[in-house]
Every structure is written in C-alpha cells, then in structure tokens.
Chains A and B, each alone.
Chain A
Amino acid sequence: MVTRSEVATDAGTAADPGWEVLARVAAGDVEAFSRLVETHQQRLLRLCERLLGDLEEARDAVQEVFLKAFRKAGDFRPQGQVYTWLYRIAVNHCLNRLRRRRLVRFTRLGAPVEPGLEEPPELDPADGAASPEDALAARRRWAATRRAIERLPANQRAVLVLVRFEGLSYREAAEALGITEGAVESRLFRAMRRLETQDSAASHVTKTGRG
C-alpha cells in the first residue's frame, strides 16, 4: 500500500511541473506527453487494477485515460496536482467501465465473474513471503478483500480504494472524485457498514455450514 507521505512526495509540491508539461502538450508538443506517461503510469495502472479487479482491463483503461488526458490537455486548469486531475479522469473512466460491465452481466444473465481471482498473476507478489503458509494467508486475504470490494457499489468502491489503498486524504479523494469531503466521509462510512454486514453474513454461513 502507498502511504500518504509517498503520495505527497512523488506527486510533487503545489507547483507541479506536470502542468508545464501539459501546457507544452497543448501547444502541440506530443513528445512532452511521454514524460507525463512515465511519471504517472504506475500509479494509474495500480488504481485501475484496484478499481476494475482485472489487470488486462486496467492496462486498456490506462491507455484510454492517457488518451483522454492528451485530448483534454488544452482545457486543463492548473489547480492542485496533476495526479489528482489524472485520478479524476481514471476514476470516471473505470466507473463507466464497471457500469457497462454490470449491464453486460445483466444482459448475459450469467454467473457473476470476478476477474482477477481466477487468473494466475504473471508475477505472484506473494512469492516474497517468509513461508508458504504466509504466502497462502496473504493470498487469501487479498482474495477476500477483492471479493469484498467488488460487492461494493461503484461510488463506495472508488472512495475506499482511493483512501485505503491509494493513501489519498479525504480532501484529495474529494478532488479526484469531484465530490465534497462530507460525501467522501459518508461513502466511506457506508462502505465500512457494508463490509461489516458482509463479514457477519460470511461468518454466519461458516458457522451454520451453509454456502
């Protein structure tokens, strides 16, 4: 997980040089855009994978997010950090994808797919665990978290991912989502309540042996 200090450090200070790059892009310097891509691609890939729960879809999404950012380079207002502007584009893009995915699932009337859980990762991050038991425990925790996140409504999911896993403050999350800090608090509260309900339901199923 990324800590808030990491976010603050690698995002730069108030005078984010990313805005200058965007100004050059808007003036027709396409090459300058690659600097922005290099600086932010890892963060956006991580965010999109966490929101979408699917690595391949996240890569496609990030490409489209950068394309949107490129096209919007002329409309930007240099306010805050470039990464929150990019986060905003990315979150909106991913939420649209999630809505479309839900619609497709509904029209197919098939069993819900939980991408990312069935697919073996290219590089298993649990390989670095101290023991096989630790690796297994870590994988189980990740799978449980992913399942829990995927059951959340899209807007609650976005807030939870931004604050818990991307290390954004409430103010930054609000900026990235285009909502108020109060709305961030409220969505976070509802997400946590929902997770509690899911936990109780899961433990009830385990205790009664159903499911």
Chain B
Amino acid sequence: MDRSTEIELMRLLNGELPPERARELERRLGSEPELAKGYRRLRERWEGLALPPPRPVPLGFTGRVMAHVEGAAREGSTLSWSLAPTWVRAAAAAALVGGVALGAGLGLLPARHNDAPPGASAIGAIGAMGERVPLADSYWSMFEDETGGEARP
C-alpha cells in the first residue's frame, strides 16, 4: 500500500474524510480485496493500541498546584529565563560569548608579546627604563652598605 493510500485510509478510520470522499473510499474497499485487507490490518493495529484508563486526580492535587502557583505569584518579579523573550535570551547569550571571547583574547595577549619567564618582565621594564626606581634603589642600598658599593649592577 502506498503512502497516500495509507494516509487516506487513516483519515477514513479517524473520521477525517469529507463524507463524499469517505463514501467513495468505502465503495473501493468493497470492490478491491487488497485495499480492504490493508485497511483491516491498519484498523486492527490502530484499535489494538490500548492504555489503562486514567487514574483519579490525587487528593489535594489542586491545592498543591495552587501553592506552587501562589508561591510564584508572591515572588512576582522573579526573573525567569524560560519566560524571557527570545531577543533577551539571544542578547544575553551573545554578551556571554562576547565576554568569554574578550577574556580569552586578553589572556592570550601578553603571552604573545612576552616569552620571558614570569617576573622577568617587571625587571626588564625597569632596566629598559634606564633609571632606578626608589624601591630598587633602597633594595640595592642594603647590599651597598655591606659590600662597599660593588653589588649594584
């Protein structure tokens, strides 16, 4: 049985066909044994599907639901991502991705320009400046006192 025929038969089974079309298909079912066989098989499978009847609503269920709802209503202004409009969620996601990318970029930036071991960059910077900062001065002055001024580089 092809797809369109089976879809038609399913519609017949579910009362979804317009009356005229249904009558026409029923006539065909009477004269085409193969089609009738396919319909019988489809109906058996469809009607063979069964689930237990619904259970009663548990006692106090309405109260439980309402407590949940009233709790949420009291919170009132609590923001919820699931209820936020799509553009707000998209903007937040974009900001997050942008922040992570910026952070990663900034983290990589010094490493690209500085292959020296950690701590060396500050000493190098002081050396490059060609002048002694007061703190370095006081550091070397401790050794100068002990070595008679020969320790300073």
Q: Is A114 on the interface with B (CB-CB < 8 A)?
A: no
Q: Which of B50, B52, B72 has the most chain A CB atoms inside 10 A of its CB?
A: B52
Residue in B closest to A65 when the chains form the complex, CB atoms: B65
Which A residues between 37 and 93 are near B, CB-CB below 8 angstroms? 37-38, 41-42, 45-46, 49-50, 55, 59, 62-63, 66-68, 70-72
Q: How many residues of A contact B (CB 8 A)?
A: 50
> Which residues on the A side are within 8 Å of B56 (C-beta)?
42, 123
- A72–B14 Cα distance when bound, in Å, is 33
Known: A30-B70, A196-B45. A41 touches B55 (CB 8 A): no
Of B16, B54, B65, B68, the contact of A42 (CB 8 Å cutoff):
B54
User: Are B62 and A138 in contact (CB-based, < 8 A)?
Assistant: no
Asked whether A34 is an interface residue with its Cβ less than 8 Å from the other chain, the reply is yes
- A 1-56 contacts with B by CB, 8 A: 1, 4, 30, 33-34, 37-38, 41-42, 45-46, 49-50, 55
Smallest beta-carbon distance A40→chain B, Å: 10
- Within the complex, the shortest CB–CB distance from A36 to chain B, in Å, comes to 10
Stretch among B5-13, B116-124, B144-152 lining the A interface: B5-13
B residues within 8 A CB of A45? 54-55, 57, 61
Q: Could you tell me if B48 and A141 are in contact, using CB atoms closer than 8 angstroms?
A: yes
Please give the distance in Å from A14's CB to the nearest CB on chain B. Answer: 20
CA distance A121 to B46 in the complex (A): 25
Distance in Å: Cβ of A185 to nearest Cβ of chain B: 5
Picked from B6, B55, B58, B70, the residue with its CB within 8 Å of the CB of A121 is B55
**A189 an interface residue at 8 Å Cβ cutoff?**
yes
Contacts of B6 in A (CB 8 A): 189, 192-193
Asked if residues A192 and B46 are in contact (CB atoms below 8 Å), the reply is yes
Q: Are A192 and B65 in contact (CB under 8 A)?
A: no
Residues of A close to B49: CB separation below 8 A: 145, 148-149, 160, 164-165, 195
Known contacts A71-B80, A141-B50, A199-B45; A37/B66 CB under 8 A: yes
Using an 8 Å CB-CB cutoff, how does the interface string of B84-121 with A read, 1 for contact, 0 for none? 00000000000000000000000000000000000000
Tell me if A176 is interfacial: C-beta within 8 Å of chain B. Answer: no
| Interface residue? A155 (CB, 8 A) | no
How many angstroms from the CA of A190 to the CA of B80 in the assembled complex? 37
Q: Is A188 an interface residue (CB 8 A)?
A: yes
* Chain B residue at minimal CB-CB distance from A196: B45
> Which of chain A's residues have a CB closer than 8 A to the CB of B3?
189
Answer whether residue B73 sits at the interface, using C-beta atoms and an 8 A cutoff: yes
B35 in the interface (beta carbon within 8 A): no
B51 at the interface (CB under 8 A from A): yes
Q: Report yes or no: B66 in contact with A55, Cβ–Cβ below 8 A.
A: no
Taking beta carbons and an 8 Å cutoff, which residues of B are in contact with A? 3, 6-7, 10-11, 14-16, 42, 45-46, 48-58, 61-62, 64-66, 68-70, 72-73, 80, 82-83
For the A-B complex with A30-B73, A63-B64, A188-B7 known, give 11 more contacts whose Cβ atoms are closer than 8 Å: A1-B50, A55-B55, A59-B58, A63-B68, A67-B69, A70-B73, A72-B83, A121-B55, A145-B48, A149-B49, A195-B45
Task: Provide 7 A-B residue pairs closer than 8 Å at the C-beta atoms, listed in order of the A residue.
Answer: A4-B15, A138-B52, A145-B49, A145-B50, A170-B16, A188-B7, A196-B45
